[in-house]
Structure 1
């Protein structure tokens, strides 16, 4: 089995090294192809990524770094897809760090003829007190705690990739792909990956607002996909218990949600993860 790992990267010089080092430290992955698609970078992302080509070759993996002038993640995903030749395709954000057995576990979960989607066990990371508090509560929201969200990392097999054509120009690529699969076609594996969340009040509000826009966009443009959504409502009793257990985290999370509702959306032209 061959696995293609597609990594879109836009101005990720602070993160791409850790991402690639983690990928290349993967164990029990015999044949892999790493495709870094730099899109609209104005920093050293490309130069840093190119340093890892020899390390990949030493591991007897393929690796290519593609430098695009267009700063568009969905376009980068499509370019990476056209280069990919693997039986399994892993779509990985450039700021994510995978654990050593995760890719192997994804391969095993997707080694089937029927369409399938898979992701690992997400671990949120944040530096600031506010963002850590937000993440502590967010990680206990039913969808994040009980489902397999696939934020920052998801993978499909060949039959699963046939479910859609080109990535459309949308906000939430992970939600778009996940909803092409029924809950019984989605698999979670125990291998972990670290996913950094936005830092500070302003960035948390901006990212939360964008996430909401992404979900609304998919419901509006692709309503047939919503039937596959398995988000669970937050039961009032469970919400109260969590809020009482983590009062500061609840305050931060609720404040961000309230600000998203009450303030004007001025972030559409200026998107970054705010890390």
Structure 2
């Protein structure tokens, strides 16, 4: 860039909402900053530390030098309110990229994920993208079994669910205003795009599953509540769902291939139908 020439806008803005993630944010940022673009690329990394009672913001700021060395525009924003959707809205206010990626602080991306998302969403047509989901190995056997079975379901394999990682281009982002106060931000965004507009790039990312049966039930119940909430508040979006159907024959095949995984998955699904304990507190339960 010559003197007096305006700075080129970043091609990509990555927004990482983080609440009390001091123990995990380092792994997330290490992986993001190891992204391998084929050509020198200016991009933006925004960590929005929201409602933190730990050192999340301080740990994140420790990555400033590493980010600058990689030509990454890096910023840590602190907000008092502990709310993911509000944190995303705050991050978007500082985002300048033509592609917006939303990544959970407990996710670890592979080096080619950001470049592939940037390329896949680089056109003028509205588009949504995510990577190939890989569930990180859990410590508890029941969580490993649940994750193993769940990851083989048609919706996960064919549906570009975007758990923990999703991205849109600016044309796609224009389809809604500020993020509403809802449970399932990933489902909300995905359903703003038809199947032909959703892109699942080959690069993968590691997404952790919660530890232990009780937490699996809590998360599954919350996921179900999130889907029901969107169906109630935004029924028109359901036309974009187009989930791959789990036929009885396919379910039988999956159950026979992994009876332990099926047993845990089915038991969790049944347990979510039972009344929740009064004042059940939402926990991430890693």
Flag whether TM exceeds 0.5 (same fold): yes
- TM-score, structure 2 length as denominator? 0.94
CA shift for structure 1 position 263: 3.2
Cα distance in 2 between the residues matched to 1:178 and 1:266: 32
4+ runs of 1 displaced by more than 3 Å? 265-268
Question: Aligned to 2:13, which of 4, 21, 41?
Answer: 4
Cα distance in 2 between the residues matched to 1:8 and 1:132: 26
1:79 aligns with 2:96: no
Unaligned runs of 5+ in 2: 1-9
Aligned to 1:213: 225
CA shift for structure 1 position 271: 2.1
CA shift for structure 1 position 194: 0.3
CA shift for structure 1 position 158: 1.0
Unaligned runs of 5+ in 1: none
Question: Aligned to 2:171, which of 146, 150, 159?
Answer: 159
- TM-score, structure 1 length as denominator? 0.97
Question: Aligned to 2:263, which of 251, 269, 272?
Answer: 251
CA shift for structure 1 position 142: 1.0
1:188 aligns with 2:200: yes
Question: Aligned to 1:21, which of 13, 30, 42?
Answer: 30
CA shift for structure 1 position 67: 1.0
Aligned to 1:200: 212
1:117 aligns with 2:98: no
Aligned to 2:76: 65
Q: Spell out, residue by residue over 1:73-104, the C-alpha distance to the aligned partner (whole angstroms, 9 max, x if none).
A: 00000000000000000000000010001100
Measured on the aligned residues, the alpha-carbon RMSD in Å equals: 1.1
- Check whether the contact 1:150–1:174 (CA below 8 A) recurs between aligned residues: yes
Query: Number of matched residues?
Result: 274
Question: Aligned to 1:140, which of 146, 152, 156?
Answer: 152
1:224 aligns with 2:224: no
- Check whether the contact 1:122–1:195 (CA below 8 A) recurs between aligned residues: yes
1:103 aligns with 2:130: no
SS in 2 for 1:261: coil
**Structure (1 or 2) with the larger CA radius of gyration:** 2
Cα distance in 1 between the residues matched to 2:169 and 2:158: 23
Distance change in 2, residues 1:266/1:179 (3 Å): farther
CA shift for structure 1 position 218: 0.2
SS in 1 for 2:272: helix
SS in 1 for 2:273: helix
SS in 1 for 2:77: strand
Aligned to 2:43: 32
Q: Spell out, residue by residue over 1:49-83, the C-alpha distance to the aligned partner (whole angstroms, 9 max, x if none).
A: 01001110111111110111100000000000000
- Check whether the contact 1:74–1:173 (CA below 8 A) recurs between aligned residues: yes
CA shift for structure 1 position 33: 0.5
Q: Spell out, residue by residue over 1:223-245, the C-alpha distance to the aligned partner (whole angstroms, 9 max, x if none).
A: 01000002122100111111011
